[in-house]
Amino acid sequence: MPEPSPVLPEVLAQIKGLPVSNRPLIICDVDEVILHLIKHLEVYLNERDLVFLNHEYRLTGNIGHRKHRAAIPAIEVRKHLLNFFDEVSHRQDMVQGADASLQALAETWEIVLLTNLPGGHNKPAREKLLSGMGIPYPVVTNSGPKGGAVAALAAGRPTPVVFIDDSPTNHSSVHASLPSSIKIQFIADHRFRAATEKETHIDLLTGDWHETADFITAILQEAVETGGNQPQK
């Protein structure tokens, strides 16, 4: 099990700028959860004669040339990822049902979007795109494993805390830093979801926002019934 990870200073500064809330918290990723990532990235790669070598949930070592299928070096993967976000982050498609489900959940939950963006320089474009889709929740940009950021976001807030993310690495990090959190692994792409094994610390593995919203609603209802925190309007 990974060690708890610290929160980066630049991330903590964003968190300290968020409004104070007494409502239970949903910390939700953006790429491949609210916005499609894999389908856009595949188009980007195909235009450069590159492909995913398989449906394993990783990028380094899993992107290669279409013809000879040799994996490209990690430094090239990062270069392509930076270029991809520059070209595409302002026009990614929404995962079906994300807007309505989050709007319904926002009636009783506080929602913060925690997204890994290289350098954070795409944050304004991402905020504009999400807001235009009816998803106007605060965006916190992070780099690397998200455990420290999630623990900092949850500090001093009532339980339950729900973490939604596609990445197995981020879920392992959050499990180490905030094991009490409820962890939903959401992967919109059915091929990568089918190839993902549900780890024991994952409470729900899904690619469906209706299922996700129902699951979260039931969590809060159970908390209320067992004497947990009452949601604040």
Q: What's the confidence (pLDDT) of residue 74?
A: 95
pTM confidence score? 0.93
Q: What is the chain's mean pLDDT, rounded?
A: 92
Q: Is the per-residue pLDDT at 120 higher than 70?
A: no
Q: Which residue has the higher pLDDT, 111 or 232?
A: 111
Q: What's the confidence (pLDDT) of residue 2?
A: 73
The model's confidence at residue 5, banded by pLDDT at 50, 70 and 90, is confident
Q: What's the confidence (pLDDT) of residue 128?
A: 94
- Among candidate residues 141, 180, 194, the one with its CA nearest the CA of residue 24: 180
Tell me the residue type at 186.
F
Domains and CATH numbers, the chain: 9-36+93-225 (3.40.50.1000), 38-88 (no CATH)
The model's confidence at residue 224, banded by pLDDT at 50, 70 and 90, is low
Environment class of residue 67 by beta-carbon count within 10 Å: exposed (0-12), middle (13-18) or buried (19+)? exposed
90-114 burial, b at 16+ Cβ within 10 Å, e below that, comes to eebebbeebbebbeebeebbbbbbb
3-state SS assignment for residue 180: coil
Q: Is the per-residue pLDDT at 229 higher than 70?
A: no
What mean pLDDT is predicted for residues 97-120?
Answer: 93
Q: Is the per-residue pLDDT at 232 higher than 50?
A: no
